[in-house]
Structure 1
Amino acid sequence: MKIVLFCEQKYAINILQPLEVEAVKEGGHNVLWYVQSKNIPDFPLKDEVKWTDSIQEIYDFSPEVIFVPCNIVPYYLPGVKIQIFHGYAAEKKDHWVIRRYFDTYFTQGPFFTRGFNALAKKYKDFEVVETGWPRQDWIYANLHTFDPEKEALLQKHGKSKLALYAPTFSPSLTSLPFIKEGLIKLVEEKDVLLILKFHPLTRIEWMNEYKELAEKHEHILWVEDHNITKYQIMADVMISDTSSTVYEFLLLDKPVITYKTIAKDIYWLDIQQPEELPEAFDRVLHDEAYISKRKWIIDNYDPYLDGQVCHRMLDAARDYIARHGVPQKRKLNLWRKYTSIKKFGKIK
Structure 2
Amino acid sequence: MKTVLFCQNPYAFGILKPIMEVLKEKNFSYLWFVRKTIQKQFPFQNEPFTSDMKEVKEFKSDVIFVPGNEVPYYLRGLKVQIFHGLAGEKKGHFRIRHYFDLYLTQGPYFTKKFLELKQKFKNFEVLETGWPKLDIYGEELHKYNVIKKELLLKFKAKIIVLYAPTFSPSLTSASFLIEEFKELSKNRKYLILIKFHDLMAVELIEEYKQLAKSTANIIFEEERNIIKFLLMADIMVSDTSSVVYEFLLLNKPVITFKSNSKNILWDNSNEYKNLSSKIESNLKADNFKEKRLKIAQQYHPYNDGKSALRMVEASLKYITKNGVPEKRKLSFLRKLKIHKIFGKY
Q: TM-score range by the shorter chain?
A: over 0.9
Q: Distance in 2 between matches of 1:325 and 1:135?
A: 28
Deviations 1:295-318 (A, max 9, x none): 001111001121111111111001
Counterpart of 1:88 (choices 64, 79, 86) is: 86
Q: Distance in 2 between matches of 1:287 and 1:126?
A: 45
Query: Which residue of structure 1 lines up, in the alignment, with residue 34 of structure 2?
Result: 35
Q: Distance in 2 between matches of 1:56 and 1:103?
A: 22
One-letter amino acid of the counterpart of residue 44, structure 1: P
Pair 70,217 (structure 1): closer, same or farther in 2 beyond 3 Å: same
Shift of 1:276: 1.1
Please state whether the residue corresponding to 1:143 is helix, strand or coil. coil
Deviations 1:34-83 (A, max 9, x none): 00121343311112x11111111111000000000000000110100000
- Find runs of 4+ consecutive structure 1 residues off by over 6 angstroms: none
Query: Which residue of structure 1 lines up, in the alignment, with residue 147 of structure 2?
Result: 149
One-letter amino acid of the counterpart of residue 330, structure 1: R
Query: Which residue of structure 2 lines up, in the alignment, with residue 45 of structure 1?
Result: 44
Q: How does 1:289-328 map to 2 (within 5 A)?
A: 289-328=287-326
Determine whether 1:21 maps to 2:24.
no
Shift of 1:285: 2.4
Counterpart of 1:186 (choices 184, 187, 198) is: 184
Deviations 1:115-165 (A, max 9, x none): 100011111000100000001113333311111111111111111000110
Query: Which residue of structure 2 lines up, in the alignment, with residue 165 of structure 1?
Result: 163
Q: Is the Cα–Cα contact under 8 Å of residues 5 and 34 in structure 1 kept in the other structure? A: yes
Q: Identity over the aligned pairs, expressed in percent?
A: 46
Counterpart of 2:127 (choices 126, 129, 149) is: 129
Shift of 1:288: 5.2
Q: Is the Cα–Cα contact under 8 Å of residues 163 and 239 in structure 1 kept in the other structure? A: yes
* C-alpha RMSD over aligned residues: 1.1
Q: Distance in 1 between matches of 2:305 and 2:342?
A: 33
Please state whether the residue corresponding to 1:38 is helix, strand or coil. helix
Q: Is the Cα–Cα contact under 8 Å of residues 181 and 274 in structure 1 kept in the other structure? A: no
Q: Distance in 1 between matches of 2:25 and 2:238?
A: 36
One-letter amino acid of the counterpart of residue 253, structure 1: N
One-letter amino acid of the counterpart of residue 338, structure 2: S
Unaligned runs of 5+ in 2: none
* Larger CA deviation: 271-280 vs 336-345: 271-280
Q: Distance in 1 between matches of 2:249 and 2:201?
A: 28
* TM-score normalised over the length of structure 1: 0.97
Shift of 1:282: 1.9
* TM-score normalised over the length of structure 2: 0.98
Query: Which residue of structure 2 lines up, in the alignment, with residue 7 of structure 1?
Result: 7
Query: Which residue of structure 2 lines up, in the alignment, with residue 140 of structure 1?
Result: 138
Deviations 1:85-120 (A, max 9, x none): 000111112101100000010000000000100011
Q: Is the Cα–Cα contact under 8 Å of residues 9 and 40 in structure 1 kept in the other structure? A: no
Q: Is the Cα–Cα contact under 8 Å of residues 139 and 229 in structure 1 kept in the other structure? A: no
Query: Which residue of structure 2 lines up, in the alignment, with residue 226 of structure 1?
Result: 224
Q: Is the Cα–Cα contact under 8 Å of residues 161 and 192 in structure 2 kept in the other structure? A: yes
Q: Is the Cα–Cα contact under 8 Å of residues 181 and 275 in structure 1 kept in the other structure? A: no
Query: Which residue of structure 2 lines up, in the alignment, with residue 251 of structure 1?
Result: 249
Q: How does 1:82-121 map to 2 (within 5 A)?
A: 82-121=80-119
